[in-house]
Amino acid sequence: MGELPHITLDRSSPVPLYFQVARQLERAIVDGSLAPGDRIMNEVELAARLGLSRPTMRQGMQLLVDKGLLVRKRGVGTQVVGPKIRRPFELTSLHDDLASSGQPQATTVLSCSVIQADEELSVELQVPVGDPVWSLERLRNVRDEPFALMHNFLPVDVVDLHGVDLATRGLYAVLREAGVQLRVANQRVGARRADAREARLLGERRGAPLLTMTRTAFDSAGRAVEYGDHVYRADRYTVELTLVDR
């Protein structure tokens, strides 16, 4: 029959039922109440016990299947894969990543001004050449050691960065508060040698290997909102991601 996860539903909550199911199932897996390899009670039975229709139950479980936490096999049942799979790579800024990891960090704003878009920016941000864009350069330290040199560009009508304290607040937090909803981003990760300036700022030797990341982020309307060109000390940073085959 399979394990019976403990799930309570609040039908007066604005949170969708399928999401309540998914959240509580996920917690049970992370808690260890549901161990890897456990078979979960079948969909029909589970839906009946919770007073849900089967499609709603399925929708909730599907979220966890998409995350790689559950595996369904036709004719067999649904099994817990395990909580060790990291979250699918989410759309977060480095600031968020570090803040949530509890590392002490500090950011120095090297420059923040409006420039005219050149050819490259015109392509990446989908604006005409010569259009005004914010150019923002920051150096980030973690545990008092230089870590990343970040160069961001944003069309000026996306957000006003005048007087914004970007040393304390992450760029993505500023964007969120300005009502910008980031939705998709294209990233390119590569490597190259540090030039003289990068080496000096990052406390490396010239020619040292750097991890590079460029990213264009789009809002929910499909508009290019931000283009970032960042370099990281290769000895202090790696990009981690989880791929899920559907």
Partner DNA sequence: TAGTGGTCTAGACCACAAT
Partner DNA sequence: TTGTGGTCTAGACCACTAC
Site for DNA in 136-195 (CB under 7 A): none
Tokens (6 digits) for 195 = 């030039």
Does the footprint of a second copy cover residue 244 (CB under 8 A)? yes
Site for DNA in 57-76 (CB under 7 A): 58-59, 72-76
Given a contact cutoff of 8 angstroms between Cβ atoms, the answer to whether 23 and 10 are in contact is no
The dihedral over CA atoms of 58, 64, 70, 75, expressed in degrees to the nearest 10, equals 20
State how far the alpha carbon of 14 is from the alpha carbons of 17, 18, 19, 62, in Å. 9, 11, 10, 20
Does the footprint of a second copy cover residue 179 (CB under 8 A)? no
Spatial CB neighbours of 55, under 8 Å, sequence gap ≥ 6: none
Does the footprint of DNA cover residue 18 (CB under 7 A)? yes
Member of 6, 49, 86, 197 binding a second copy (CB under 8 A): 86
* Minimal distance, residue 157 CB to a second copy, in Å: 17
State how far the alpha carbon of 86 is from the alpha carbons of 68, 69, 242, in Å. 9, 9, 6
Member of 6, 53, 88, 91 binding DNA (CB under 7 A): 53
Does the footprint of a second copy cover residue 35 (CB under 8 A)? no
Closer of 27 and 39 to a second copy (Cβ): 39
State how far the alpha carbon of 144 is from the alpha carbons of 101, 106, 147, 202, 239, in Å. 16, 8, 9, 11, 21
Member of 15, 113, 184, 197 binding a second copy (CB under 8 A): 184
What does the binding site for DNA look like in residue numbers (CB under 7 A)? 1-2, 16-19, 40, 42-45, 51-56, 58-59, 72-78
Judged by the rule CB under 8 A, the positions of this chain that interact with a second copy are 36-37, 55, 68, 71, 73, 79-82, 85-86, 89-91, 182-193, 207-211, 218, 220-222, 234-235, 237-245
